[in-house]
Amino acid sequence: MTTREAFLSKIRAAQPASRPRPDVPLFPTPEGDLRERFATALTAMGGTCVEASSAEEVQAMIAARFGADAIVASAVAGIEGNRAISCDTAPASLQDVDVGVVRGRFGVAETGSVWFSEEEYLVNSIGYLVQHLVVLLDPALLVEGLQQVYRRPDFKSARYAVLVTGPSATADIEGVLIRGAQGVRSLTVVWLA
């Protein structure tokens, strides 16, 4: 037996007995429209919400906002990008992408967050390496708060899951806020069923 195997064997033998997880109660949620609460929370975190009635309208918004020469990678059927991506795309290859387009599985009104798994992203780095993230979200897929997220079967079964709330941001000791320091510079949620 190697030193590594002996070490891991000792760790396995010292594990405490498993026990059931505690029951987490559902806490009372504030009154009000979920969509309005989501937009307020997202805006407070530096994100924006816009309306669209079709994929073509989203395409036009992307071209108007980011320019016709922007490199766009889309993980959403019906939204064309000029950089093809698939599950086999090398994550680092998205480092020069201007706009990433994804569809959120659901949104959380409490925090203004959007939930993604490996299925929505196709390539996990799309949520971090692109300059601007455009998220299509069906307003009917909003949940009240984080307590509901943890109860969802897709949350439990995903290999990779992330809640994204606004663009990346950091502040120095003087309180100067910088967006896009470690990730996307802007996050736009597009209401589109």
Q: Report the CATH number that the domain containing residue 169 is assigned in CATH.
A: 3.40.50.10420
For residue 182, name the pLDDT band (cuts at 50, 70, 90). Answer: confident
Residue 61 lies in a domain: yes
Q: Is the pLDDT of residue 70 over 80?
A: yes
Sign, CA torsion 113/48/59/168: negative
Structural domain boundaries enclosing 109: 32-191
pLDDT, position 110: 94
* 2-38: pLDDT as tens digits: 899 999 999 999 999 888 878 878 888 888 899 999 9
Total structural domains within the chain:
1
Cα–Cα distance measured from residue 164 to residue 142, given in angstroms and rounded to the nearest whole number: 14
The pLDDT value given to residue 23: 80
> What per-residue confidence (pLDDT) applies to 103?
97
SS3 103: strand
| pTM, two decimal places | 0.85
Residue 110 within any structural domain of the chain: yes
Residue 45 lies in a domain: yes
CA-wise closest residue to 98 among 121, 61, 68, 137: 68
HSE-up of residue 51 (Cα within 13 Å, Cβ side): 3
The better pLDDT of the pair 121, 175 is held by 121
Give the pLDDT confidence score for residue 46 in this predicted structure.
Answer: 92
For residue 32, what are the CA distances in angstroms to 49, 87, 109, 132? 18, 39, 10, 30
Three-state SS at 171: strand
In a domain, 17, yes or no: no
Q: Is residue 91 part of a domain?
A: yes
Q: How high does pLDDT run on average in the chain?
A: 92
Q: How many percent of the chain have pLDDT more than 90?
A: 75
What percentage of the chain carries pLDDT values higher than 70? 100
For residue 118, is it within any domain? yes
